[in-house]
Amino acid sequence: MLDHPVRLAVFDIDGTLLGPGYPLGRPQIQALARLHEAGITLALASSRQRASLLDLAEAIGLPLYLVSYNGPLVNAPDGTRISATDIALPAGLGSALADFVDAGGCVHCYTVDDWQAFGPDWRIDNEAAGRHAVPSRRAASLTPATLPPRALKILCDGDLPALAAVRAAVAAEPGLVMNWSGSECHDIHARHASKGDGLRQLCRHLSIDTGHTIAFGDADSDISMLSTAGTGFAMGAANARVTAAADRRLGAPGSGELEALLAEIAATV
């Protein structure tokens, strides 16, 4: 069992709460409800945009704090914005992103209130999940001038050779970071706006010690969150980097291990 109190539990979604063939259902909702009834604050932290998280929060039916875009945007259950950290888009990065789209990749640009998508329709459609998640602009190509001057996050979808130039452009900017967030998706955002930073923002807002938190994730974008939490859990297919950052490992969504652990934690509060 855990060696510290639990006041806040933060969950990645894809690969953690949900998995292939294991959509949101009664087991996860009941497990989260038990924590809520035990007085533990709940949060979702995902690479997904806030509109998609709102759909999920509505389906779960519990008050949930939301950490969107892998960390840059943090909202309270009532929609109050706790933090929003955006980035300037330098010219070199814009050119590399345009070349990436020309090579067959897809670029998604997110601001607080907008989503623009550039690339093949099928890749854009993969990201357009949820009834509130609809891009304001879709285009097959991208020029640096079409990008907004600032963004919360840039998502590059496609594990293509042209991604190397994007990585190099990000590496040339000390304030930016690029993380793998699952499948062929790579996220660019402010270096100090990771999921770990989102967890710290929540703890400050709620006056909770980070040592009194638990966090669950499976991708590189979860590493900062797992290492910041009092106890971090690497889920299912987590790679060696994620596992090294976590304190414990659980089975993949659908194994029942997460639900069993949450029931045990709720029973001991």
Check if the beta carbon of residue 103 is closer than 8 Å to that of residue 183: no
Q: What is the pTM of this model?
A: 0.90
pLDDT at 130: 53
Per-residue tens of pLDDT for the chain, all 269 residues:
798 999 999 999 999 999 999 999 999 999 999 999 999 999 999 988 898 899 999 999 999 999 999 999 999 999 999 999 999 999 999 999 999 999 999 999 999 878 999 999 999 988 765 556 788 899 999 999 999 999 999 999 999 999 999 999 999 999 999 988 878 999 999 999 999 999 999 999 999 999 999 999 999 999 999 999 999 999 999 999 999 999 999 999 999 999 999 999 999 98
- Domain 87-190 sits in CATH at 3.30.1240.10
Spatial distance between the Cα atoms of 221 and 30, rounded to a whole number of angstroms: 26
pLDDT at position 129: 57
CB crowding 178-195: b at 16 or more within 10 Å, else e: bbbbbebbbbbbbeebbb
Q: Locate the domains of the chain by residue range.
A: 8-84+193-268, 87-190
* Spatial distance between the Cα atoms of 45 and 135, rounded to a whole number of angstroms: 21
| Distance of alpha carbon 197 from alpha carbon 138, whole angstroms | 31
pLDDT for position 75: 98
Distances (CA, A) of 73 to 38, 67, 157: 27, 6, 20
- Match domain 8-84+193-268 to its CATH number in 3.40.50.300, 3.40.109.10, 3.40.50.1000, 3.90.79.10: 3.40.50.1000
Asked whether the domain spanning 87-190 has the same topology as the one spanning 8-84+193-268, the reply is no
